[in-house]
Amino acid sequence: MFKVLDDNHEFDTQISFDGKDHLVPSNITVAAAALLIGVKSIRETPVTGAKRMPLCMMGVCYECLMKIDGVGNQRSCQTLVRQGMVIERQIGATEVEAEYYEA
């Protein structure tokens, strides 16, 4: 469904998506890479488990939240792919780092 329009892109960046390796262009976002490799959903909502995909592609809607390099709640539409990046679907809510909050 999605493809790179500019034929000058080289598929030279290896990423891991849910344990499977893929080659993608180096200058695209994680959300664009997910669309390019044919992912059907990138997260499930915490309340109903509804499947979600990136929507606005500019960081406003937060529908693109994913676990990137072990850190959850990352906006995949605002994160460029890097060589060796590990990307996972985000299923439900993720833990908030305790160091940010003091009791």
Domains of the chain by start residue, with CATH: 13-91 (3.10.20.30)
Q: What are the residues facing 65 on neighbouring strands?
A: 75
pLDDT at residue 51 in the model: 94
Mean pLDDT by groups of 10 residues along the chain of 103 residues: 71 96 95 94 91 93 94 95 97 70 57
What is residue 97's predicted lDDT score, i.e. its pLDDT?
61
* Confidence (pLDDT) at 63: 92
Percent of the chain as helix, strand, coil, to the nearest 5: 15, 30, 60
Alpha carbon 37 to its chain centroid, in Å, reads 11
**pLDDT value at residue 54:** 93
